[in-house]
Amino acid sequence: MLTHIHIWNFAIVEKLDLELEAGMTVLTGETGAGKSILLDALGLALGDRADSGVIRHGAEKAEISVTFDTRKAAAAEAWLKEHELESAEECIIRRTISANGPSRAFINGKPCPITLLRELGEMLVDLHGQHEHHALLRREVQQQLLDDYADHPALLDAVARAFQQWQSLNQDMQELEKARSERASRLELLRYQVSELDALNLVEGEAGELDGEHRRLANARQILESSDRILSRLEENEQASVNALLSQSLSDLQSLATMDSSLESTAELLDSASIQINEAISELRHYRDNLALDPQRLSEIEGRLASITDLSRKHQVSAEELPVHFTRLQEELNKLEQADIRAGRLQDEIEQASTEYRSRARKLSQSRQKAAKKLSAQVSERMQQLGMEGGRFEITLTGREENDFSKQGLELAEFVVGANPGQPLKPMNKVASGGELSRISLAIQVISADVSLTPTLIFDEVDVGIGGRVAEIVGRQLRELGNHQQVICVTHLPQVAALGQHHLQVCKQAETDNTSSEIQTLSGSQRVDEIARMLGGLRITEQTLNHAREMIAEAQV
């Protein structure tokens, strides 16, 4: 539950530290005093979108910090542990909004993205707003309310996954059918391209090897002539060859080394050079002897390279990429030729997916039917208590068309109501007035909250449009909820406020150049004065005060 909230420089609140208790807490104040500020601040702390406009005038930064006792919030504690954010049965959330920079969020002192705040916030607080009865007229909201009441997320998830599988297979079939329409012309082209590439029979790396061999054969005569000249310089000229001059120099140096041993290393270097030159001469002679002029082979290579170049240009790829390109075309051709077989298999898979979807959707339908019957009875019962004697509420489930699959299941939920005895049941937007809608919405919210596992429930003026005896009944129902969960109720009705176990009052202070809002916890006598104000307006008499005392006393019964 929410145990503490700290607000600093937010809207017209300069600084606020508020301790909150278990049970039912009511929040009251004059119109315009700023009752919504507390809820707005709490919403920001739990991940609502931030705007620098919420920063108090003249300040550079606003900060909201909220503390929750998580001992009775098993889902939140498991989530905190999963995200390595746990902290001894307590959760502290802090949000800062800067005038010149992005907002920042912290959970138990660790920075985190806003999306995590929202995830955690949904496990800690459930907010019921005063305008929810308007949303209640929408069919999708009605279905969501039924599913929330039924509490079958596993069934919803199973149906959604089965639908996605069926939808994905159908999309594959549509793409296949589209490909079929273009198949004939594409097949003809592919078969021709694969045939000519198959005839070429080019292997990977062959183009590079052929290019090297072509350069060698095309320049064979020049290579032979140059090799002969090199060999002549190296050894064939007995008087001036490199080998002869080196041998003579080595002989002379070895003679000198006998006279001076320091020349021995130099002689060894010349000896090594002589050996390497002789090896080079041997390799060059062998290369020259095996190099022959082969015009026929040269012609063959030139023809092969011409074919490779022609096809590489035609397919707009390099010669080295042709083998890989050939493989891709073969795979595409095979896929198109197997399209009929694949279509048959895909159709079988679609039928299996349809069967699986219907099976899971039927289980969801059964759960919805059971929940709809129970919720209808409970709302009808609450309607009698809320001044709509003889009124009836039902949830109808209308099946979709055959094969009209949806991730929400096989049916659509609709709330129908007969507000008065003898009236036929009709959709809510056809028969219910604004006040009746408000009461039906409140009944659904209270029932939904009663089955909720969220530790803190906030009701923001959900009692708009009711009064008198009905208002007291609403207050008692909210107080009853407070016996199981923490309930915070923003209200303008004294009948509801009197039933609170704790009472907070919002006051606005206006000065010449400054306006601020404060929230204080009311003592016994202060609470009597506030209830009296709500009862009597500006003129509070002793009779009004006595009435307020009586209401507070009766709330304890």
Share of the chain above pLDDT 70, in %: 91
pLDDT at 512: 61
DSSP lists the bridge partners of residue 515 as 510
Averaged pLDDT, 385-407: 88
Query: Which amino acid is located at 112 in the chain?
Result: C
Averaged pLDDT, 374-396: 89
Res. 375 pLDDT band, cuts 50 70 90: very high
pLDDT at 540: 83
- Per-residue pLDDT at 152 exceeds 90: yes
Res. 508 pLDDT band, cuts 50 70 90: confident
pLDDT at 237: 64
User: What would the DSSP string read from start to end of 477-509?
Assistant: HHHHHHTTSEEEEE-S-HHHHTT-SEEEEEEEE
pLDDT at 219: 65
- Per-residue pLDDT at 312 exceeds 80: yes
Domain boundaries along the sequence of the chain: 184-337
Q: Which of 134-148, 176-190, 536-550 has the lowest mean pLDDT?
A: 176-190
Share of the chain above pLDDT 90, in %: 32
CB 387 within 8 A of CB 395: no
pTM above the 0.85 mark?
Answer: no
Structure tokens at 141: 């909201």
Residue tagged 């008692």 (tokens): 476
- Per-residue pLDDT at 278 exceeds 80: yes
- Per-residue pLDDT at 53 exceeds 90: no
- Per-residue pLDDT at 161 exceeds 90: yes
Query: Which amino acid is located at 410 in the chain?
Result: L
User: What would the DSSP string read from start to end of 303-321?
Assistant: HHHHHHHHHHHHHTS-GGG
- The total of other beta-carbon atoms located within 10 Å of residue 178's CB is 10
Q: Please tell me which residue, 128 or 189, carries the higher pLDDT value.
A: 189
For 237-249, write each residue's pLDDT tens digit: 666 678 777 887 8
pLDDT at 294: 63
Structure tokens at 556: 């304890």
For 212-222, write each residue's pLDDT tens digit: 767 777 666 67
